[in-house]
Chains A and B, each alone.
Chain A
Amino acid sequence: MNTPIAYDMLVIGSGPAGQKAAVEAARSGASVALIEKTRKLGGACVQRGTIPSKTLRENALRVRNMRMNAQLSNFKLAEDTELATLITRLNNVLNAHDEYMRKQLERTQVNLIHGRARFLSPQDVEVESVRGEKQTYSSGHILIATGSHPRKPPDIPVDHEHLFDSDSILSMMYLPKSLTVLGGGVIASEYASIFQALGVSVTMIDKYPHPLGFLDNDLTQTFLNDFTQMGGTWKGNTKVTRCYWNGMDAVITECDDGTEVRSEKLLCAAGRVANVKELEISNAGLQLNERGLIDVDDQLETQVRGIYAAGDVIGPPSLASASMEQGRRAACNSLEITSGVVHSVIPAGIYSIPELSSIGISETQAREKFGDVFVGVARFDEIARGQISGALNGMLKIVCDTDGKTILGIMIVGEGATELIHIGQMALINNSPVDIFVETVFNFPTLAEAYRAAALEIIHQRKINSSRS
């Protein structure tokens, strides 16, 4: 073994968690090395997932809007549209992001190491360069932030040519005529609705009755209404028995109800698993749990002292936003730096068409936990801005405790949901009563007014209840 190079902290992986951890640790004066397997920084989030899919989404929205406003523009997407033309500016976005991250790492004097890491012991990590050279690094503080990759069910022959996973779906050359999406989770719903908005005939198949099962039914139903109105097909409660490229012209998906779905391409979105294959975590005394993830405590420390983990390797919520905060906190905890107030409520954003976003607990969870909670709903078609902009398929829901004042959760479906949620987030983390949405004057006309409409509904219910008692 070569002489190990010592650092105060080693961070493995430069995705949202690793990058924020490295910067936070370096800012506290620690010497930090950030090890990244690929040439580009940012991990799957930047290179294959979040940013590319959101770039495609922007164009899908434009296409959809142009179709919806047929009286303004007689728009038709050209036959054989190259996918690259629909992910315009992606390279610029990625390069800008890469440059920004590199500058930030340079500024904070984080040493960036390009190579593949593997544990030799709980304190020693060997890094193999892409050319095969090896160097060992050591530290008493190590953060695993290696992210995740698509789970490949053994019976789905993903070949990245006809059957794709979420890492390869955007490598398609042309927009297909039809697409089968296996799964009903966040990634499946996002891609299914984005491709449907682009005019691809999409069939979503999942074993559960509704997609996005962690959300309330009325929200997922609004998503499904929009999806089916665009021409998409949802096949819930359906198990896929076999899936294959027929060697001719279609991917065949056979279902347990005897039906057969034919499509030009298929996307398998069956969840994600931790990227630890090459890390040899057993050398550090670590092992994966039954879900294929690394267990951590509330300090984000693994069962091995000094080794922390953050981001997708520790599992849900698997959001870039949450990973960033986890990374920062893990660095602080590891180096015993005060991390500031940690808010446990974080928003979830689903960039489907339409968008969905939620914070706190759902109505279903609230009723299970507290009983007769108060719920206020505002539909976007009842809000002036919704009518003006044509964003009619949307709703905002506020869930309050049995006192009708304490906010428990907020859920939004409809365009702008991922931005609108932050108004509710501020109220929630400041423990503001629901009344704040009525006492606050919102711009008119805006979709944010939905907060006021939903809050008024709760206050009205509260008054009726109190007059009864």
Chain B
Amino acid sequence: MTSAKVSPQPGAAALERAMEKLVNTGAIDVPMLPEVAGKVVRLAQDADSDAAELAKLIQSDQILAGHVMRVANSALYTPNASLVSLQQAIARLGMKLISEIALGASINSSLFNAPGYDDHIQYVIRHSLLSGLWAKEIARACRRNVEAAFLTGLLHDIGRPVATQAIITKAKKLEIPIQKPVLFALENQFQRTIGVKVVEQWEMPSTVVEVVRYFDDYNAAGEAKNQTMIACAGSLFASHFMCRPGDEGCMTRGELIGQAVLGDLDLYQDEVEEILEKEDVVKSAMEALSA
């Protein structure tokens, strides 16, 4: 992830002050979680709802319906048959998975408007999705909440694209030409506070809010400490697997295994190796979810 310091670019200090003011006054524009996704997530948590109801809701959003059908027909979930009906797909994938797909699909680059930074946002979103999937496997190994692990992994960095968008908007307004290192430094500086605001506004469970709040200092997370550590570990796994040969700051497998957070989760090295053996499962899920 980018971590450049604010360079002495003209106007950078003014932009920083403007962002500070924006964050302190809470005037950040939080993107609306698409209505259908919100409803799907709520419906999936309602034991009284049924597949037909969910199918009807998803059908109201063609993009989401198409996405669900693609995932349902992916090799991971449908090795032998081809699904044709949405209800059949929901029956196969399950309400919980549908909610994950809905949320995963909703948090995409179209949610953000940051011209020139599409690749960066795309990377953050892919990294978040992969973090969520790895966090699930880590949570399973630690006997911690698996559903929460996915959500917290997925949303831990949600402040980044929102911050990027806000910085671009503000720079435009102040007529400050912005350089990438400056934007990334400001994003790093403000994304955490902004992320908390986003998940609060999206009415995510309190655990998710606490994980986002304390992601950079899990020791301060109180009762959310374990979930925060799992999200951190998921994010490290995602970084490791998304790193391409030659990329700067890549972690080797050994370095990943030696990460402090894994030790703090009381995961011994052979236990981390066991989690890493889930690579194919996670990879398939990632391919399916981002199809």
Contacts and interface: CB of A to CB of B under 8 A. Distances in A.
A130 B147 contact: no
B205 A82 contact: yes
B207 A178 contact: no
Contact of A172 (B97, B140, B145): B145
A246 B94 contact: yes
Interface centre among B51, B91, B145 (most CB of A within 10 A): B145
Interface string B94-122: 11010000000000000000000000000
Given A82-B206, A178-B47, A249-B51, A173 B147 contact: yes
Interface string A42-82: 00000010000000000000000000000000000001101
Interface stretch (A159-167, A219-227, A328-336): A159-167
A37 B266 contact: yes
B159 to A, nearest CB: 22
Given A82-B205, A171-B143, A178-B47, A90 B223 contact: yes
Interface in B248-284: 258, 262-264, 266-269
Contacts of A174: 45
Contact of B207 (A39, A173, A246, A247): A173
Contacts, number: 78
A171 B145 contact: yes
A362 B91 CA distance: 50
B240 interface: no
Nearest to B147: A173
Nearest to A172: B145
A84 B207 contact: yes
A121 B180 CA distance: 60
B93 A38 contact: no
B268 A248 contact: no
A160 B94 contact: no
Contact of B47 (A82, A160, A264): A264
Interface in B48-93: 48, 50-51, 90-93
Contacts of A159: 140, 146
A173 to B, nearest CB: 5
B146 A161 contact: yes
Given A80-B45, A91-B222, A130-B263, A161 B206 contact: no
A178 B46 CA distance: 11
A441 to B, nearest CB: 46
B39 interface: no
A11 B223 CA distance: 30
Contact-residue bracket for chain B? 35 or more
B148 interface: yes
A291 interface: no
Nearest to A87: B223
B170 interface: no
Nearest to B90: A248
B264 A39 contact: yes
Given A90-B223, A91-B223, A248-B91, A177 B268 contact: no
A173 B145 contact: yes
Nearest to B223: A91
Contacts of B147: 161, 173
Nearest to A164: B143
Given A82-B205, A131-B258, A173-B148, A38 B143 contact: no
A249 B205 contact: no
A79 to B, nearest CB: 8
A249 B91 CA distance: 8
A160 B149 CA distance: 12
Given A132-B269, A177-B47, A249-B95, A84 B206 contact: yes
A228 interface: no
B77 to A, nearest CB: 9
Given A161-B140, A178-B47, A248 B223 contact: no
A82 B207 contact: yes
A431 to B, nearest CB: 45
Contacts of A168: 143-144
A116 interface: yes
7 contacts: A82-B207, A90-B223, A91-B223, A130-B263, A245-B94, A248-B51, A249-B51
The 6 closest A-B CB pairs, nearest first, are: A177-B47, A161-B146, A130-B263, A168-B143, A171-B145, A91-B223
Interface of A: 37-39, 48, 79-80, 82, 84, 90-91, 116, 128, 130-132, 159-161, 167-168, 171-174, 176-178, 245-249, 264
Given A91-B222, A246-B94, A247-B91, 11 more contacts: A39-B264, A79-B46, A91-B223, A130-B262, A131-B258, A131-B263, A159-B140, A160-B146, A171-B143, A171-B145, A247-B97
